[in-house]
Amino acid sequence: MYCLSDYLGITCVTEWGGEPYLAQGEIKHMRKYLVSASILALVIAVFALPLATFAGPPDSATMQFGRPDLGSGCNFPCVDDASFHAIDKIAPGAVAISAGGTVDFEVNGVHQVAIYEPGITPKDIEPDDDAFPFVNDAEGRIFLGGFNPAMPFTDSFTFEEPGKYLVICNITPHFEEAQMWGWVIVK
Ligand SMILES: [Cu+2]
């Protein structure tokens, strides 16, 4: 690099010193930028987290009541063990919604939705032998859905009060042997 000050017997300190100085300036600038970006990210995290919590769970959810898309393809009236445990399920097993929210139960197969008030657990349910193959335990039951094995349909229920609600399939073998039950958590 040409440096006029070399001719004058002066070392090119300013010239050579200039570059590191500029580079250092750039590093300082970068640091400043990174610090600003980090602070911004922190502020977003700090404010977004409580906002997300404040927003609460959604006001609607969907539960699949029966999964004929799973299993071996052996559907009612065909019965095999693998299909029984794959098909006769509620998916997802639990949903969370906010109070006043609605859950849609997409019923597909030989199933019937029954919803119980908070505090009732699966071990509280006593299937009525005389009503077999239906559970028909009316104690604490707040909703009993439709029954139509011939075609899929949707039942909907609006949960006004917070609580943990048990949802079961009202078909006794599904409830007892396939554990076809789940939860709606209302906040
Ligand atoms: Cu069922």
- Tens digits of residue pLDDT in 23-32: 555 556 656 7
User: Of 126, 109, 129, 121, whose CA–CA distance to 167 is shortest?
Assistant: 121
Half-sphere exposure of 7 (CA within 13 A, CB side): 3
| CA–CA separation, 59 and 158 (whole Å) | 10
Cα-Cα-Cα-Cα torsion 125, 158, 62, 128, nearest 10 degrees, comes to 20
The pLDDT, as a whole number, for residue 36 is: 73
| CA–CA separation, 61 and 38 (whole Å) | 36
User: Of 154, 125, 142, 146, whose CA–CA distance to 186 is shortest?
Assistant: 142
User: Residue 138: pLDDT above 80?
Assistant: yes
What share of the chain in percent tops pLDDT 90? 56
Cα 57 to ligand 1 centre (Å)? 27
Cα 112 to ligand 1 centre (Å)? 6
Cα 187 to ligand 1 centre (Å)? 27
| CA–CA separation, 159 and 90 (whole Å) | 18
Cα 141 to ligand 1 centre (Å)? 17
Residue 95 pairs in a beta bridge with 184
| CA–CA separation, 151 and 174 (whole Å) | 18
Cα 178 to ligand 1 centre (Å)? 8
The pTM of this model reads: 0.69
Cα 56 to ligand 1 centre (Å)? 31
For residue 104, the one-letter residue type is D
Q: Answer yes or no: are the C-beta atoms of 180 and 174 closer than 8 Å.
A: yes
Q: What is the mean pLDDT of the chain?
A: 81
pLDDT tens-digit readout, 40-94: 666 656 666 555 556 789 999 999 999 877 766 666 677 666 666 778 899 999 9
The pLDDT, as a whole number, for residue 92 is: 97
Q: Answer yes or no: are the C-beta atoms of 103 and 184 closer than 8 Å.
A: yes
Residues whose beta carbons lie less than 5 angstroms from ion ligand 1: 88, 111, 169, 171, 174, 180
Cα 171 to ligand 1 centre (Å)? 5
